[in-house]
Structure 1
Amino acid sequence: MAELTERAGNALQAAQRKAREAGARAIAVEHLLAGLLEQPDSVAVAVVRALGIEVSKLQREAARLIHATEPEPMPLSERLQVVVDLAAKESKRVGEQAVGTEHLLIAILREGDSLASRALQKLGVSADALRSALSRLEPGAARVASPVRGRISMQSSVLAVIDVQDSFLAPIAQKEKVVARCSFLVEVAGLLDVPIVVTEQYRERMGETTEALRRLLPPGVVRRDKLCFSSYRANGFEEDLAAMARKDIVLVGIESHICVTQTALDLHSAGYRVYVCEDATAARPPDAHGIAMRRLRH
């Protein structure tokens, strides 16, 4: 078998697990499609999103296509072996040294006869469309944080307020606007019973959350002190989110290009859906906020 990237290998392992769970005779193309869709940071998932397709919808279709049979050893099916071979050719065609998730996804379509291929075709996806969407992705962007589409609900959301402290606010030109927008969202979260988590960078030296915002926080909100850029790595923050059992995290605070960005990337890697409020975040350098927002859109 051709050399695989780490995520492509993970996708095949996930496919094998799904085949075992279904009691299949072999790992089929449908199992591979389901395995690919379990890799949230992969190029394959990013390119599916870039085509405007809901990953969850395609996951449900892949699950529907997987049928249970009696358990047996787990070789690749003949059709899946064809897909892997086509993926190797695809990666070679574009000059890649290893087969990636995007090559496997394109190969599923090139194989053409499997149920997984037909499911993609039914959604209007073609190999050429995937290649075109792939060419539009910024280098490396698909491997970090793809844009999140769809609605969020108050039942699945958490509002994370990051480092809105006077010492950081002082040099920011739009500080009044940022505090006002953060305050509005905190008030709305309180009215809707949306949990709020707060972090403060080096509280002993940099001070507490600005008083105008602090007085709006509902009783019981814990403000986590941190000595790192990412709020997700603050002591207790990860555990707070896990206890809430919610997957949509709305981020506000400062600074956009440092702590907000690092928090967003860590949350995304941990499997959360991340929404950054552009008008409730800011940075001291005039152009840093825009750069951060453009990065997080990809």
Structure 2
Amino acid sequence: MLLQLENSLVLVIDIQQKLAPAIDQTKEVEQAAAWVLQVALQLGVPVWGTEQYPIGLGPTLISIAELIPAKHMLHKMHFSALKEAHIAAAIANTNRKQIVVIGTEAHVCVLQTVFDLLAANYQVFVVVEAVGSRTADNKQLALNRMQQQGAQIISKEMLAFEWLNRSGTDSFRHISKGWIV
């Protein structure tokens, strides 16, 4: 099950200003998430985002928010994004069946969203560097549970190479710049 550009969508879960400082390795998660979004945008993959109770947790980090179209940033109160009818409908209306999930917290909102996506028959890919929790243990437990339920746990480079599909293109040269030491 490889990712395909024309069938993919990136869903950013709750990378918010008041939560970010509590996330283990928060800078690394933020940088990986921004990288995934930049690759997605360059390759034409739609990007959607959620904010959990933004009055309390604040807006999405600026470095992430600037990469998500404003009309694609959706508010939620449930931990699972798919429990919100407007979010479930927005994703369904894209007709994309491969959902790449990034965000926080891995063991709460990411996990519950992933489980509901799987139950709705989406193929789900979780980018390991671009998800986080307050503790490394909670992140690892969440990744294990998501994988056991059928989510594909991937690296950001796996994502990019699967989307690119081949070398020798301008997109490949631009995105792979800096990968080879």
Check whether TM > 0.5.
Answer: yes
Deviation readout 1:70-95 (Å, 9 max, x if unpaired): xxxxxxxxxxxxxxxxxxxxxxxxxx
Once the two structures are TM-superposed, the CA of residue 183 in structure 1 deviates from its matched residue by 0.3
The answer (yes or no) to whether the contact 2:24–2:135 under 8 Å persists in 1 is no
- Matched residue, 1:294: 144
The answer (yes or no) to whether the contact 1:165–1:210 under 8 Å persists in 2 is yes
Written as runs of structure 1 = structure 2, the 5 A alignment for 1:17-28 is none
Once the two structures are TM-superposed, the CA of residue 227 in structure 1 deviates from its matched residue by 0.7
Deviation readout 1:157-208 (Å, 9 max, x if unpaired): 0000000001111112310000001101111111111111100000122111
Return the alpha-carbon distance in structure 2 between the equivalents of residues 220 and 286 of structure 1: 31
- Matched residue, 1:163: 14
Once the two structures are TM-superposed, the CA of residue 286 in structure 1 deviates from its matched residue by 3.1
- Matched residue, 1:216: 67
- Matched residue, 1:123: none
Letter of the 1:241 counterpart = I
- Matched residue, 1:107: none
Return the alpha-carbon distance in structure 1 between the equivalents of residues 102 and 87 of structure 2: 15
Larger RCO: 1 or 2 (CA < 8 Å, sep 6+): 2
Return the alpha-carbon distance in structure 2 between the equivalents of residues 220 and 209 of structure 1: 11
Deviation readout 1:211-232 (Å, 9 max, x if unpaired): 1111222x45421111111011
Unaligned 5+ runs, structure 1: 1-149
Letter of the 2:67 counterpart = L
Return the alpha-carbon distance in structure 2 between the equivalents of residues 173 and 230 of structure 1: 21
Written as runs of structure 1 = structure 2, the 5 A alignment for 1:173-212 is 173-212=24-63
Unaligned 5+ runs, structure 2: 149-181
Counterpart of 2:92 (choices 223, 238, 242) is: 242
Letter of the 2:52 counterpart = Q
| % identical aligned pairs | 32
The Cα RMSD (Å) is: 1.2
Q: Give the TM-score normalised by the residue count of structure 2.
A: 0.78
Deviation readout 1:127-173 (Å, 9 max, x if unpaired): xxxxxxxxxxxxxxxxxxxxxxx201010000000000011111123
Q: Give the TM-score normalised by the residue count of structure 1.
A: 0.48
Return the alpha-carbon distance in structure 2 between the equivalents of residues 155 and 250 of structure 1: 13
Deviation readout 1:221-249 (Å, 9 max, x if unpaired): 42111111101123411111111001000
- Matched residue, 1:252: 102
Letter of the 2:58 counterpart = G
Counterpart of 2:116 (choices 248, 266, 269) is: 266
Letter of the 2:51 counterpart = E
Return the alpha-carbon distance in structure 2 between the equivalents of residues 234 and 184 of structure 1: 27
Written as runs of structure 1 = structure 2, the 5 A alignment for 1:73-112 is none
Larger Rg: 1
Letter of the 2:29 counterpart = V
